[in-house]
Amino acid sequence: MTTAGTGHAEADRDEKGGIRTALAGLTTRGRSFLAAGVAAAVCSYVLGQSDLLRVGLLLAVLPLVCATILYRTRYRVAGSRRLSPARVPAGSEARVHLRMDNVSRLPTGLLMLQDRVPYVLGPRPRFVLDRVEAGGRREVSYRVRSDLRGRYPLGPLQLRLTDPFGMCELTRSFSTSDNLTVIPRVEPLAPVRLSGEARGYGDGRQRSLALAGEDDVIPRGYRHGDDLRRVHWRSTARYGELMVRREEQPQRARCTVLLDTRGIAFQGAGPDAAFEWAVAGAASVLVHMLERGFSVRLLTDTGSAVPGEGGDGFAGASQGSADAAGLMMDTLAVIDHSDGEGLSRAYDVLRGGNEGLLVAFLGDLDEEQAAVVARMRQRGGGAVAFVLDSETWMREPSDVPGPLDGSGERLRMLREAGWTTLGVPRGASLDDLWRQADRERRGVAAAGGGEGP
């Protein structure tokens, strides 16, 4: 029996030790028949009953004949698996479609199809295919669901072939498998305009001037329709062709999302843990800012930025937003706690340039790490921090005075450094906190006569 794996890849088939393989495939019924036949043969010898010997031989030979015929049966079966969708948010269902094609000229017997599935996705699916005619096809499907993000292998497929009497059962495994990616839940966010963000919209969008001065012109060749008033005569004389000054180039606003992954900063595990809330919050902000046209970057406490676009690590300007979101969702699907104890590596990355809007999801902060986070605000256009204090997070929601209450001295240090800082209680909605951050920013701007919306 020859099988094919996903994408019609050939599966492994053991040709060695045929008799041993066939005997190993005997079912409980087959082994019982064989044992009863041997016992009957022994009793016939002891009692001198020749009729009992014939019965014993029949009982012993039947499972052996079934095993031999089943093992030597050659079927060519191709299989494929299709995930719909291949990337699913945590808590949502995906459907797995299996297709079996009989590519031989002989019909198959009874086939039992089984797919290997991690226990977190649900029970292992099993299907019985009665008979597949020559050139025929059978399609089955099953659902999988996980509340935990991650990347889970599906497969390889296994086919069990049995004889009509149920004496023998042989298993053939396909050679390939697929992966189901369970990404964090993404919560829709309100289109607020946080501090430092207003410059990225409409008429207020930042622009980089190509002309910084008469000696710093970056000209380009003349194109039909260009305004002759932008002709740069000095460059025209130098290059021997008509040259014009470049237009002002719009510069996409930037947003950096900082995710604290330190193991010492979070307590608890499972889908309701504080770290999972932080990961889901980072995913929601990244998708939201990409949809609004920002160039975004995901930064962790280890200083690694994903995905990278050019040398600055930002994504979204030259690649599709959907592709950039997919890359970051795949990263967040498998991100785990780091062994680091501080945020200094992230600070080293952030102090290197203009990061635009900075949104941070932080765990427990001691005084030293709070000071590091406070210094991150110095070069950013705007900064919002969601702090998941373990003591506050482990309380029941009813025990928390308010869903937007601060968490003490560490939050005060960040606010004094210019951060819009919010403590995150257990069960809080990110969209509510997102709106609250905008209201607090507006209140500070109104009190100080600063930048309005």
Q: What is the per-residue pLDDT for 8?
A: 39
Instruction: Count each helix (H run) and each strand (E run) in the chain, helices first.
Output: 11, 22
pLDDT at 307: 58
pLDDT value of position 338 = 92
Please name the residue ranges forming H helices in 361-425.
367-376, 390-393, 409-416
Question: pLDDT 10s per residue in the chain (453 long)?
Answer: 433 344 433 333 444 455 677 778 888 898 999 999 999 999 998 888 888 998 999 999 998 888 888 777 767 888 889 999 989 999 999 999 999 998 888 788 778 899 999 999 988 899 988 888 888 999 999 999 999 999 999 989 988 877 878 888 888 888 888 999 999 999 999 988 764 443 443 333 444 333 334 444 567 777 776 777 788 888 888 888 888 876 554 556 888 999 999 999 998 888 889 999 999 999 999 999 988 888 888 999 998 877 544 445 666 644 556 777 888 899 999 999 999 889 999 998 887 666 689 999 999 999 999 999 999 886 556 899 999 988 777 766 554 444 444 457 888 999 999 899 999 988 899 999 999 998 888 776 555 544 433
| Local structure of 221: helix, strand or coil | strand
pLDDT of residue 270: 86
> Would you state the pLDDT for residue 400?
45
Would you state the pLDDT for residue 352?
66
Instruction: Give this prediction's pTM.
Output: 0.75
- What's the confidence (pLDDT) of residue 240? 82
C-alpha span between 93 and 393 (Å, rounded) = 28
Q: Which residues on neighbouring strands pair with residue 435, listed in sequence order?
A: none
Residue 212: the pLDDT is 36
- Rounded Cα distance, 347 and 397, in Å: 33
Radius of gyration of the chain (CA): 33
Q: Please report the DSSP string for 282-332 in residue order.
A: HHHHHHHHHHTT-EEEEEETTS-EES--TTTT-BSSSS-HHHHHHHHHHHH
Rounded distance between C-alpha atoms, residue 363 and residue 366, angstroms = 10
The values of phi and psi at residue 64, to 5°, are -70, -40
Ramachandran region of residue 408, left (φ > 0), alpha (ψ -120 to 50) or beta? Answer: left
CA distances from 206 to 120, 162, 172 (A): 47, 70, 62
- pLDDT value, residue 202: 35
Residue of 38, 36, 21, 66 lying closest to 165 (CA atoms): 66
Instruction: Of 349, 351, 306, give the one whose Cα is nearest residue 331.
Output: 306
Q: Which residues contact 94 (CB under 8 A, 6 or more apart)?
A: 83, 84, 85, 86, 88, 143, 144, 145, 180
Distance separating alpha carbons of residues 162 and 108, to the nearest angstrom: 10
State how far the Cα of 317 lies from the Cα of 334, in Å rounded to an integer.
25
